[in-house]
Amino acid sequence: METPPLVEIMASARVVALPLATRFRGVDVREAVLFEGPEGWSEFSPFAEYDDAESATWLAAAIEDAWMPRPEPVRSEIHVNATVPAVAAASVPQVLARFDGCRTAKVKVAERGQSLADDIARVRAVREALGAEGRVRIDANGAWNLDEAEHAVHALAEFDLEYVEQPCAGVDELAELRRRVKYMGVPIAADESVRKASDPVAVARAGAADLLVVKAQPLGGVRRALEIVAEAGLPAVVSSALDTSVGLAMGVALAAALPDLDYDCGLGTASLFTADVAVPPLTPRAGLLPVGRISPDPAQLDALEASADRQEWWLDRLARCHALLEARG
């Protein structure tokens, strides 16, 4: 689609800062830009450390979502997982209590400054809380080298892992790890090797993953993400990038449009916020999220408005990314 003029996007743009109940991914507050197009509200929220070239892809996704109808859904609600940050094991029940009825939990591991023993204690606490019928998956965000990953999978396998997400950073490492742990029956999922790769299907061609984790904003939009899943020919899990409820609804639209969806999706992360832009927020009820667009509440937009300097920072960033999209044609 043709990129709409910057002035049209800026006309409704609001910069918000959402407080987190627990520190996650190194932040206590999640910032985002929301804006409204002909189809409804959308979100632009690349992480602060991402450069403009990568962030422009997130803006393309947001513009598509606000200016184009979403693909036709094939399901009306989405099963989602709980997300457990790298908290102490004693805090696990408190975190899980925020995710109503979720039967699956994704546990962050390999946090800088923590040990494998911390990971084992956290995953054990999650398994105990969910019981034998619950599903437990772990996410290392590519932080382990090959030998560390193999050791960690062995150490954590007793907790009946559903899969291990991005245990190593490189595709070659993922392929070798998958070969080494195949006999254990622990699948390997690729996230960063999809959303941060110049060729998001390379990990599938290399036989380096059993499933893909896909996110709408980082991949350039719902339609592009659907194309990647189709081309890869692997099962997919739809996840979020710690979006507001507005951005999460875009991820829900992606999950709703996938022909097959065999895994609970990582779209329940609004439960990690203490306040959100939507009333009520898009948080799980009985482990489910409904499919549909979300509009922010005007009072919440005012209450959660970012500071003046952060507004300027984000709107300048949006303008630079918009210029990149126009240059790309």
Domain boundaries, the chain: 6-70+299-328, 77-295
pLDDT in tens, 65-112: 999 999 999 999 999 999 999 999 999 999 999 999 999 999 999 999
260 is in an annotated binding site: no
212 in Cβ contact with 235 (< 8 Å): yes
- Band (pLDDT 50/70/90 cuts) for residue 24 is confident
**Residue 23: predicted pLDDT:** 85
- Band (pLDDT 50/70/90 cuts) for residue 26 is confident
Q: Tell which residue, 184, 180, 206, has the closest CA to residue 193.
A: 206
Cα separation, 318 vs 315, in Å, equals 5
- Band (pLDDT 50/70/90 cuts) for residue 162 is very high
Cα separation, 80 vs 144, in Å, equals 26
Portion of the chain with pLDDT greater than 70, in percent: 100
Q: List, in order, residues 6 or more apart from 296 with CB less than 8 Å away.
A: 14, 16, 34, 41, 244, 245, 246, 277, 278
165 is in an annotated binding site: yes
**Residue 19: predicted pLDDT:** 97
Q: Say yes or no: do domains 6-70+299-328 and 77-295 share a fold.
A: no
Cα separation, 160 vs 131, in Å, equals 11
pLDDT in tens, 305-320: 999 999 999 999 999 9
160 is in an annotated binding site: no
What is the rounded average pLDDT for all residues in the chain?
Answer: 97
84 in Cβ contact with 136 (< 8 Å): no
Cα separation, 215 vs 4, in Å, equals 23
* Active-site residue, 108 included: yes
List the Cα angle 184/175/87 in 5-degree steps.
Answer: 65
For the beta carbon of residue 290, count every other beta carbon within 10 angstroms: 13
Sign of the C-alpha dihedral, residues 93, 99, 105, 110? negative
**Residue 329: predicted pLDDT:** 84
Q: What is the pTM of this model?
A: 0.97
The CATH superfamily holding the domain 6-70+299-328 is Enolase-like, N-terminal domain (3.30.390.10)
Mean pLDDT of 268-285: 97
Provide φ and ψ at 203, rounded to 5°: -65, -35
**Residue 106: predicted pLDDT:** 98
pLDDT in tens, 113-131: 999 999 999 999 999 999 9
In the CATH hierarchy, which top-level class contains the domain 77-295? alpha beta
pLDDT in tens, 179-222: 999 999 999 999 999 999 999 999 999 999 999 999 999 999 99
* Active-site residue, 196 included: no
Name the token pair of 45: 């929220």
**Residue 172: predicted pLDDT:** 97
